[in-house]
Amino acid sequence: MLEARNLHLRHGARSLIRDLEFTAAPGRITAIVGPNGAGKTTLLRALTGETDMGEVRLNGLALRGMAPARLARLRAVLPQSLALAFPFRVADLLRMGQEAGDCAAQPGLIEAALAEVGLAGFGQRIVTSLSGGEQARVHLARARAQVWQPVGPQGPRWLLLDEPVASLDIGHQVLVMRRAQAFADAGGGVVAVMHDLNLTAGFADEVVLLGHGALLGAGPPAAVLTEAALSQAYGCAMRLNTTPAQGLFVLPQMVG
C-alpha cells in the first residue's frame, strides 16, 4: 500500500493541503484529479518523498529517512516537466533509470522499454532533438526501466506519474494508459495526476478528487465522478453520460 496521513502544507497564509489522507493499493490505477491549483502535484510530491508534509508509508515503510537508493528501487517518478542540461542520447537516459532499479544487469531492457511506448529504434537519438510528445514518452520509458518488474523482493513497485498524457496525441494517450494498466495488472501500483476526466473514467480503478487542498471524494470512478461533485470542483456545470461500449464519459456544458 501507499498511504499518507495528516498531510498539510501552507504557503504564507494560504493552506495548499490541509489534513489530507490518501491510500492507493497495488494492482490498481489511482488517479488524482481536480482543477488547477487544487493541490494535485503537491500531493504527488509528498507521495514521492520530495516534500515532507506528513506521514507517508510505502509498502509499510516510512518514507521519512529512507535512503534514496532504496526508495529508487521501490518507486519511479515521472514529473510534470523535466529539462535536460546535456544532450543525452535516449539510451543513456534510460540506462540511468535502469541502473537505479533492481534490473541493472538485465540485457535488452532499454530496447524493450522503448518499444513499450512506441519508440523502438530511438536509442541513439538525442533526447532534446525529439518532439515534445516523444520526449514525454522517453521519460516514461526511463521510469519503467527503473521499476521494470512490477513486483520485487520488497513487494509491489510503484509508478508515480504527474500528467503522463498531457503532451500526447490521443493514440499515444491510450497507449500510455494501457501500459500503466498492464503494470497494475501485473501487481504494481500506479498513481497518476490526470486532467482528462474521460481517460480517468476509462482506466482508473480509484479516483481521488481534490479541490483547494481538500479531499472532495475518493473511490471508484462512478462514485466520485458525479455531476454534483465535478461541478463543485471545477466551477462549471458538468454532464455525465454513458456509451454501450465504454461506459462513463464527461462533458462540460457550453451554455448556462
Residue 13 banded pLDDT, cuts 50, 70, 90? low
pLDDT the model gives residue 47: 92
State the pTM of this model: 0.91
pLDDT the model gives residue 255: 53
Residue 233 banded pLDDT, cuts 50, 70, 90? very high
pLDDT at 131 over 60: yes
pLDDT digits (tens, 9 = 90+) for 171-196: 999 999 999 999 999 999 999 999 99
Residue 41 grid coordinates = 502535484
Answer whether 192's CB lies under 8 Å from 164's CB: yes
Residue 82 banded pLDDT, cuts 50, 70, 90? confident
The residue-averaged pLDDT of 230-250 equals: 83
pLDDT the model gives residue 250: 77
pLDDT at 205 over 80: yes
Least trusted range by pLDDT, from 4-8, 95-99, 132-136, 167-171: 4-8
H or E element that contains 173: helix 170-185
Domains of the chain (ranges; CATH) run 2-252 (3.40.50.300)
Q: Of the ranges 55-59, 185-189, 229-233, 242-246, which is most confident?
A: 185-189
Average pLDDT over the chain reads: 91
SS3 call for 245: coil
pLDDT the model gives residue 167: 87
Buried b (16+ CB within 10 A) or exposed e, 172-199: bbebbbebbbebbeeebbbbbbbebbeb
Burial class (CB in 10 A: 0-12, 13-18, 19+), 148: buried
pLDDT the model gives residue 212: 81
